[in-house]
C-alpha cells in the first residue's frame, strides 16, 4: 500500500460524491420549475442511497470481479458483499475497500445524470426501480468491459491496445446520455416545455460544485498521487474554462446575450468532453477539446430540442452524451488510442445501452407507472408526490 496514493483517493472519493450530493442535485434543481425542485433533490439523493447498497451487494462484483479473462463480459458474483475483501486487501497500491468506495461514487453519479431527462413528469417508484436495474445490468457490465479487465481492455476484442477511456467518456457519459435520450423519447414531452429555470443562481452553485468535484473524478482516476493525477486535474480545469467561454461567446453571437445558465452549461460540456482524454492529453489539447465542446454541445442541444423535438429536459444527451463521445474520439485524433478500439467501443456500448435501457423501461413500467398523471404534473411533483414544497411562492 502507498500512503500518498491512499490519501489522495480518499479525498477524491469524497469529491466525486460531492459532485452528486449536492452538486448535481442543485444544478438540476435550479433548472426546473419551483414546484418540482424538491422532487429533483429527492430523486438524486435516493439514487445515491440505493446505488450505494446495490454496489456493495452486486455491482462491484459484476464490474471488478475476477471471473473470466480478457474476453469476459462480466466479473461474476464472487465479490458480492465485498466477499474476501479485508482491510489488508490491495488493488494496485490502494486498499481494495478504498477502490470499491471510489468506484461506488461513479456508480452513484451515472444513473443520477439520467434524472435530467425525465424531471417534472416521472413516477418516483419508476426512478428507483429503473435506476437500480440499469446500474446493475447496463453500467456495471460496461465498467467491467473497459476498466475491469474485460473484453474491451488491452488484449481483448480490439487486440493488444484496448479502448482508452480514462475517467468515463464511454463508461459514464455515453451510457447515461444515451439512456437519457431513450427515456425522453419513450416518456414524451412535458406539458410545460417553455418554463425557464426557476433559480439560475442555484444552477451556478451546482455547476461550481461539479467543477470542483471533477478534480476527484478525473484526477482520482489516475489512482495515484503523482504527476499524472496533477496533469489530469489541470487539463480538466483548462477544458472546463475554455468551453464555458466558447459556449457564452457562441450564445452571444447567435442570440445577442450570454446567459449565466449557458456559461455554466458550457462548463459541464467541457468537463464531460475532457473526461475520457484527461489522462492522455496535455494543456494545449485540452484547450482545443474545450473550445470545440462549448460550441458542439450547444448545437447538439439546439438539434435535440428544436429539430428532433425530443424533450430531454435538462440536455443530458446533448451535453454529457455528445461530450463523452466527442472526447473519446479526440483520444484517437491525438494518437493516444486506436481508431478501431475507440469507435468500436462507442458503437458496441451505444447499441448495448439503447437496447438494455429500452427493455428496462418497458419492463419497469409494467410494475410501477412510468409517468405521473396530468394533474400531478401540472400542480408539481413536490406537493403531489412528496407532500412538501420548497417555497411559499411557486413558479
Residue 72: per-residue pLDDT? 85
- Does residue 330 carry a pLDDT above 90? yes
pLDDT higher than 80, residue 199: yes
Q: Residue written as cell 478504498?
A: 98
Q: Taking a C-beta distance cutoff of 8 angstroms, is the pair 236, 219 a contact?
A: yes
pLDDT given for residue 395 in this prediction: 52
Question: What letter does residue 367 receive in the DSSP assignment?
Answer: H
- Phi and psi for 266 in degrees, rounded to 5? -60, -35
Query: What's the grid cell of residue 69?
Result: 479473462
CA atoms within a 13 Å half-sphere pointing along the CA-CB vector of 186:
21
Per the DSSP assignment, residues forming a β-bridge with 159 are: 156
Q: Are 376 and 22 in contact (CB under 8 A)?
A: no
Best CA proximity match to 270, nearest among 245, 297, 239, 314: 239
The predicted-structure confidence for 52-106, as pLDDT tens digits, reads as follows 999 999 999 999 998 766 568 999 999 999 999 999 999 999 999 999 999 999 9
- Mean pLDDT confidence for 273-296: 98
Residues 6+ apart with CB under 8 A from 391: 34
Q: How far apart are CA 96 and CA 379, in angstroms?
A: 47
CA atoms within 13 A on the CB side of 93: 14
Average pLDDT, the chain: 96
Give tens-digit pLDDT for 150-168: 999 999 999 999 999 999 9
Q: Which percentage of the chain shows pLDDT scores above 70?
A: 98
Please provide the size of the chain in residues. 395
Mean pLDDT within 168-180: 98
- Assess contact for 140 and 108: CB atoms under 8 A: no
What is the grid cell recorded at 309?
Answer: 423535438
Quick one: cell of 298? 450547444
Amino acid at each position: 500500500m502507498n500512503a500518498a496514493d491512499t490519501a489522495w483517493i480518499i479525498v477524491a472519493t469524497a469529491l466525486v460524491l460531492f459532485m452528486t450530493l449536492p452538486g448535481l442535485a442543485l444544478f438540476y434543481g435550479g433548472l426546473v420549475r419551483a414546484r418540482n425542485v424538491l422532487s429533483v433533490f429527492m430523486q438524486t439523493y435516493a439514487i445515491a442511497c440505493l446505488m450505494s447498497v446495490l454496489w456493495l451487494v452486486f455491482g462491484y462484483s459484476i464490474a471488478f470481479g475476477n471471473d473470466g479473462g480478457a474476453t469476459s463480459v462480466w466479473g461474476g458474483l464472487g465479490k458480492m458483499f465485498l466477499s474476501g475483501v479485508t482491510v489488508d486487501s490491495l488493488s494496485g497500491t490502494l486498499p481494495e475497500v478504498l477502490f470499491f468506495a471510489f468506484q461506488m461514487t461513479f456508480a452513484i453519479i451515472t444513473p443520477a445524470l439520467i434524472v435530467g431527462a425525465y424531471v417534472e413528469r416521472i413516477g418516483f417508484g419508476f426512478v428507483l426501480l429503473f435506476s437500480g436495474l440499469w446500474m446493475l445490468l447496463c453500467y456495471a457490465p460496461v465498467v467491467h468491459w473497459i476498466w475491469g479487465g474485460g473484453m474491451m481492455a488491452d488484449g481483448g476484442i480490439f487486440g493488444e491496445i484496448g479502448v482508452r477511456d480514462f475517467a468515463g467518456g464511454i463508461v459514464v457519459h455515453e451510457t447515461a446520455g444515451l439512456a437519457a435520450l431513450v427515456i425522453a423519447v419513450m416518456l414524451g414531452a412535458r406539458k410545460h416545455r417553455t418554463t425557464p429555470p426557476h433559480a439560475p443562481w442555484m444552477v451556478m452553485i451546482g455547476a461550481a460544485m461539479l467543477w470542483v468535484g471533477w478534480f476527484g473524478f478525473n484526477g482520482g482516476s489516475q489512482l495515484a498521487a503523482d504527476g499524472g493525477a496533477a496533469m489530469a486535474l489541470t487539463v480538466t480545469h483548462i477544458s472546463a474554462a475554455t468551453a464555458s467561454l466558447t459556449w457564452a461567446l457562441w450564445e452571444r453571437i447567435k442570440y445577442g446575450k450570454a446567459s449565466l445558465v449557458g456559461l455554466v452549461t458550457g462548463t459541464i460540456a467541457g468537463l464531460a468532453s475532457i473526461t475520457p482524454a484527461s489522462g492522455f492529453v496535455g494543456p494545449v489539447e485540452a484547450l482545443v477539446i474545450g473550445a470545440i465542446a462549448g460550441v458542439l454541445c450547444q448545437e447538439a442541444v439546439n438539434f435535440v430540442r428544436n429539430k428532433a423535438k425530443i424533450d430531454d429536459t435538462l440536455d443530458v444527451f446533448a451535453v454529457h452524451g455528445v461530450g463523452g463521445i466527442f472526447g473519446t474520439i479526440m483520444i484517437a485524433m491525438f494518437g493516444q488510442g486506436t481508431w478501431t478500439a475507440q469507435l468500436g467501443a462507442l458503437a458496441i456500448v451505444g447499441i448495448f445501452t439503447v437496447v438494455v435501457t429500452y427493455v428496462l423501461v418497458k419492463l419497469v413500467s409494467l410494475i410501477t407507472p412510468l409517468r405521473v398523471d396530468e394533474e400531478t404534473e401540472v400542480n408539481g411533483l413536490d406537493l403531489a408526490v412528496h407532500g412538501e414544497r420548497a417555497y411559499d411562492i411557486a413558479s
